[in-house]
A and B are shown apart, each in its own frame.
Chain A
Amino acid sequence: MAAPSPWDATRAREIIDAHLELEGPALPILHALQETFGHVPREAVPMVASALNVSRAEMHGIVTFYHDFREEPAGEHVVKVCRAESCQSRGGREIGDRIAALLGLKWYETSADGRVTLEPVYCLGLCTMGPNAMVDGKPVARIDKVGAARLVEEVTR
């Protein structure tokens, strides 16, 4: 994954302006900001609010409503482990807990060295071959104990 850019108000302005032609541009703008900066920077929120003619409070409410938008950049690697029913039926609960324990992280936590962020996800659409995860956007299926250890080793190496 490309490393997130440091905060740059001019860049943020360009991103916002590039989407203003869209109908209902808020989510595309927030996705694009996060894509560039690795999160939705606090400084960007009032800029988006004024561009869309909504209050800062309302914009804050929008950003915080959606699970995807981060207020802090994620770690270098993002591990999303499916916690939904299909994966549970195939031992996903235990595998998820095992990955968390091996990483020494709680859900939604980033390691102190900034290497790994662990998040739950509710369904990746690979429901016949769980337990599943998405590591830096790449799908990983049929995770057993060995697979869990390998996954953790790859992101902490």
Chain B
Amino acid sequence: MSRIFVPKDVAALALGADAVAAAIAEEAAKRGLAIEIVRNGSRGAFFLEPLVEVETPFGRVGYREIVADDVASLFEADFLSGGDHPTCIGKTDDFPWFAGQTRLTFARCGIVDPLSLDDYAALGGWKGLKRALALGEIGTLEEVSLSGLRGRGGAGFPTGVKWKTVAMAKADRKYVICNADEGDSGTFADRMIMEGDPFCLIEGMVICGLAVGATKGFVYSRSEYPHANATFARAIEIARAAGHLGPNIDGSGRAFELELRVGAGAYVCGEETALMESLEGKRGIVRAKPPLPAIAGLFGKPTVVNNLLSLATIPFILAEGAQAYADFGAGRSRGTMPIQIAGNVRYGGLWETAFGVTLGEIVETIGGGTATGRPVKAVQCGGPLGAYFPVSLFDTPYDYEAFTAAGGLIGHGGIVVFDDTADMAEMAHFAFEFGAIESCGKCTPCRIGAVRGREVMEKVLEGRGGAADLTLLEDLCETMKFGSLCALGGFIPYPVTSAMTHFPDDFRRAGLPAAAE
């Protein structure tokens, strides 16, 4: 029986994948052909979606940008045997955009049926957990440390150090939190894992729980991701029924429970202490650190708070060994990063690669430049609180240290491309506006600063501003950067000052005509 893959990833759904799946089922029935339609996640090349694939004896063959109207002609072309068709991209694995990647965290995403335990196990699933159980706590912690894995949420803190701190803390109860509050514009990696390879995250969290001595995990996701939440909630049920979660994990006698929680539209809850407040049922207000969450976190107990991508990378590290992961990367940035190439870009999507590729290669070579065909003006790296990079910085290698040195951050791996029609003063205004909307209100630099910054930028945009206003903005940014309690207020200056530094012309608006006397 032919196996046909029609993605169920929300990006494919937005482009009509459900109608395509229905049309394929209908056409096959009409022709009396037995087929199995698998609703996989996305492989991440969104410019190919809906990407329909067919399993053939020589590998999976892809058909790009399929709409329901294409389906009859696909059958005519015998696509069930990989037949040629104008939409055919040949063997999917050989398609250059896929062949050029190093997929460790996303090895299964888009390949498997997300809710099939058989598919998951067939492609190495639970191998990491098995090895972690054999290694024991100390051995597991050692592997995570040796891998060099650093927090994929943005801060880049060594994951192994965090886990060891929680493991050493004495408490009657400990927690593991997966931060899946992926609010950054230009990012979709967490969503893709939850929709496309949810067992991978579950396995990573179980390994973490066993290593640090936590018995309860929470995944804190977003209400803006209803599809991801539905798939992940179902995955938890399936994993629990199979004994991969619960009181006796895979017969080990060890317990770990997992619960999905959905936020309520507050960007600041992606900040780990605000996230914990929210999980506890309070306003998502940032806590002062210390105490570190690893010592006194959720409900005052030692808590690992890791980004989803960090946790989803753990199964690979345990299964293949720390060195296999650390062999990739550059300098102190080890392993791979699922880079999300977004915005005004020709070939947008998720591109996982070893650290060290340059920003220019990502945007121009892999991304193919802008979707509009106009010159690139700027790229914002690391979400709404990330810096705008000009083309002159395109030789910056993609790693934590190099980005810091260039006055930016890689954040959660999002890159948003803007063409030459972008108005960087407008973008600076938006950064303040977003901060004003999303500030939790606890600290003054962020709460007041974002509003005042927005007001000054309005003046600048209307041409009422002068040099003194730009100096004022610089001063305000200085205060916010060093005076804010968390990264929300502390990082708003990144988009603002980078826009001012690299695109000063956009901030010199023509003055208003003098009012008639």
Contacts and interface: CB of A to CB of B under 8 A. Distances in A.
Chain A interface secondary structure, helix, strand, loop or mixed?
Answer: loop
Nearest to A61: B283
Interface string B412-456: 001011110010000100100010001000000000000000000
Contacts of A22: 259
Contacts of B258: none
A90 B343 contact: yes
A129 B184 contact: no
Nearest to B386: A85
A68 B278 CA distance: 13
Contacts of B216: 23
Report, as a range, how many residues of chain A touch the other chain: 35 or more
Contact of B380 (A52, A85, A123): A85
A69 interface: yes
A26 B417 CA distance: 39
Contact of B348 (A24, A127, A140): A127
A27 B262 CA distance: 8
Contacts of A61: 283
A132 to B, nearest CB: 7
A62 interface: yes
Given A128-B348, A129-B348, A123 B183 contact: yes
B188 A126 contact: yes
A141 B15 contact: yes
Contacts of A124: 10, 224-225
B145 interface: no
A66 B265 contact: yes
Nearest to A52: B281
A123 B224 contact: yes
A125 B221 CA distance: 12
Contact of A85 (B185, B188, B282): B185
A114 interface: no
Given A25-B281, A85-B416, A66 B342 contact: no
Interface residues of B, number: 60
B422 A89 contact: yes
A84 interface: yes
A90 B14 contact: no
Interface string A112-140: 00000000011111111110101001111
Given A126-B10, A126-B14, A127-B188, A26 B282 contact: yes
Contacts, number: 148
Nearest to B227: A139
A157 interface: no
Nearest to A120: B437
Given A68-B223, A122-B267, A128 B46 contact: yes
Contact of B282 (A62, A121, A123, A137): A62
Contacts of B434: 84, 122
Interface in B271-315: 278-285, 299
Interface in B1-48: 10-11, 13-15, 46-47
Contact of B283 (A25, A62, A89, A130): A62
Interface string B167-188: 0000000000000001111111
Closest 6 CB pairs of A and B: A128-B348, A26-B281, A84-B185, A66-B264, A127-B342, A67-B265
Interface of B: 10-11, 13-15, 46-47, 182-188, 191, 216, 223-228, 259, 261-267, 278-285, 299, 340-345, 348-349, 371, 380, 384, 414, 416-419, 422, 427, 430, 434, 438
Given A26-B282, A85-B380, A122-B267, 13 more contacts: A27-B264, A30-B264, A62-B282, A67-B265, A69-B264, A86-B342, A88-B427, A125-B228, A127-B342, A127-B343, A128-B345, A130-B343, A139-B13
